[in-house]
Structure 1
Amino acid sequence: MTLADQPSPTPAKRSRRADAERNRAAIIEAAGTVFAEHGGAVDVREIARRSGVGMGTLYRHFPTKDDLLLTVLELQFGSWLADAHQRATATEDPWQALTGFFEQMLTTQSRNRAVVESYTTNGGPTPACAQRCHSFIDELRTRCLDAGLLRPDVTTADLVLLSGSLTQAVLTTGDTHPGQWRRLLRISLDGLSSRNTEPLPDPTPHPDTSRKD
C-alpha cells in the first residue's frame, strides 16, 4: 500500500485533536497567570477552573503539577529571554544594554512569583534556560568590558550571582517593599562601573592560617 492509498484521518479524529490542542493551550495560558499570581504552591483546581477544563483533562495533558509548572516556566522564560536579547541587540550603548537587561529581568520577576521561586530553588526554570541566560549575560559583560565601561575584574559568574541575589530581593521584599529592588539594583550597578578602581576581593577563599589545631 502506498502513502496515497492510506486512509486519511477522519474528520472526527481531526476534531478531537484540535479540541485537545485548544485545551492544552487554555491550560498553559491559565497556568501562566495563576502561577504568576500565587507561585508554584497553588492548587491545580484553580488552574482547571480558569482554563475551563475538567481535572481529568488537565491531568491527561500534565500528569503532575510539576510537569505543568516546568512547561509554563520554560515557555515564559524563552519568550522573555528572546525579547531581552532583541532589545539588547538594538541598544547601541553597551552599558544601557546591561542595565536594561537587569531592569527588564527584575521587572518581569516582580510580576511573576513562580519565576522568582524557580530561581531561588534551582537557579532558573530549567538547566537549559539557565545556560542560555548565562551565555547572554556573558555577551553583555563582554560588550561593556570592550567599551571600558565595566570593572575589568568583574566576571560573568559575578553577574550571574548578582542577578540571583537581586531575584531573591524581589521575592523577600515584594509583599512589604515592592520597589526596594530598584534601589539595590542602582547600588549594584554603581559598583560595577569602571569608575571604581579598587581591586575586588579574590573570589577564591584563602585558608585561615591563623587557626591552630
Structure 2
Amino acid sequence: MSEPRTAAATGAPAAAAPPATRGRRADAERNRAAIIAAATAVFAERGGEVDVREIARRSGVGMGTLYRHFPSKEDLLRSSLEQEFTAWLTEAHERAAATEDPWQALSGFFEQVLTTQAHNRALMDSYVRTGGPTQECVQECRAFIDVLRERCERAGLLRDGVGTEDLLSLSASLCQVVQTPGGQHRWRRLMTISLDGLSSRHPEPLPS
C-alpha cells in the first residue's frame, strides 16, 4: 500500500489554519498586549511590588490567562520594561532627529532619560534590584549617545576630551540621584550644572 502523499510532496498549497485556531491566536495576542499595557501602567505607578491581581483586573483577564503568558511577576516586569525601553528609545531618536540644534538634542536626551526615571517606579525598582539596565539596553544607549556626541563635537559645542563613555557615565550617575531621597526634585538642577561642565565654553583640559 502506498503511503499518503503530503501537500509538500505534491506541490499543493498547505491548508490554511482553521478560523477557530486563528481566532484563538488573535485573542491570545490581544490578551498579552492588554496584560503588558496594564502592567506598564501599574508598575510605573506602584513599583515592582504590586500584586499581579491588580494587573489582571486592569487588563480584563483572569489569573489563569495572565500566568499562561507570564509564569512569574519577573517575566512580566521584564517584558514590560523591554517594551517601554523600545518605545522610549524610538521616541528619543525621533526627538533628536527633529531637533536642529545639536546641544538641545543632547540636553533633551538627558532630560528625557531622567524624566522617565523620575516618573517610573518600576524602572527605579528594577535598577535597585539588578544594579542597572540590561547590557543590551546599555549598548543601544551608548550607540545613540555617540551620535549625539558627534553632532555636538562637529558643531564645536562640546568641551575637548569629552567622550561617549563620559556621557554614558554621567547619565547613569544622574539616574542614581533620582533614586535617592528627594532626588526626584533635585535632578534637574544637577543635570543643568553637569551639562554646563560639558560645554566648549570651558577651555580647561579635563583630567586624564
TM over 0.5: yes
Q: What is the CA–CA distance in structure 2 between the aligned matches of 1:28 and 1:46, rounded to whole Å?
A: 12
Scaled by the length of structure 1, the TM-score of the pair is: 0.86
Equivalent position of 1:205 in the other structure: none
Q: Is the counterpart of residue 163 in structure 1 residue 171 in structure 2?
A: yes
Equivalent position of 2:191 in the other structure: 185
Q: What is the CA–CA distance in structure 2 between the aligned matches of 1:94 and 1:5, rounded to whole Å?
A: 54
Q: What is the CA–CA distance in structure 2 between the aligned matches of 1:194 and 1:61, rounded to whole Å?
A: 51
Cα deviation for residue 6 of structure 1 reads 4.4
* Contact 2:45 2:120 survives alignment (8 Å): yes
Give the 3 Å change call, closer, same or farther, for CA 49–201 of structure 1 in structure 2.
same
Farther-moved stretch of structure 1 (132-141 vs 114-123): 114-123
Q: Is the counterpart of residue 153 in structure 1 residue 166 in structure 2?
A: no
Q: Is the counterpart of residue 34 in structure 1 residue 39 in structure 2?
A: no
Question: Is there any run of 5+ residues in structure 2 with no aligned partner, and where?
Answer: 1-5
Q: What is the CA–CA distance in structure 1 between the aligned matches of 2:60 and 2:37, rounded to whole Å?
A: 11
Equivalent position of 2:7 in the other structure: 2
Cα deviation for residue 5 of structure 1 reads 6.2
- Correspondent of 2:115 among 107, 116, 126: 107
* Contact 1:119 1:164 survives alignment (8 Å): no
Equivalent position of 2:72 in the other structure: 64
Correspondences of 1:1-213 after superposition (within 5 Å): 1-2=6-7, 4=12, 6-120=14-128, 121-124=130-133, 126-173=134-181, 176=182, 178-202=184-208
Farther-moved stretch of structure 1 (184-193 vs 13-22): 13-22
Equivalent position of 2:3 in the other structure: none
Cα deviation for residue 177 of structure 1 reads 5.7
* Contact 1:27 1:58 survives alignment (8 Å): yes
RMSD: 1.8
Cα deviation for residue 93 of structure 1 reads 1.1
Scaled by the length of structure 2, the TM-score of the pair is: 0.87
Q: What is the CA–CA distance in structure 1 between the aligned matches of 2:87 and 2:127, rounded to whole Å?
A: 17
SS of 2:153's partner is helix
Q: What is the CA–CA distance in structure 2 between the aligned matches of 1:52 and 1:177, rounded to whole Å?
A: 35
Q: What is the CA–CA distance in structure 2 between the aligned matches of 1:109 and 1:44, rounded to whole Å?
A: 22
Q: Specify the code of the residue in structure 1 equivalent to 2:150.
A: T
Q: Specify the code of the residue in structure 2 equivalent to 1:41.
A: E
Q: What is the CA–CA distance in structure 1 between the aligned matches of 2:203 and 2:124, rounded to whole Å?
A: 33
* Contact 2:177 2:183 survives alignment (8 Å): no
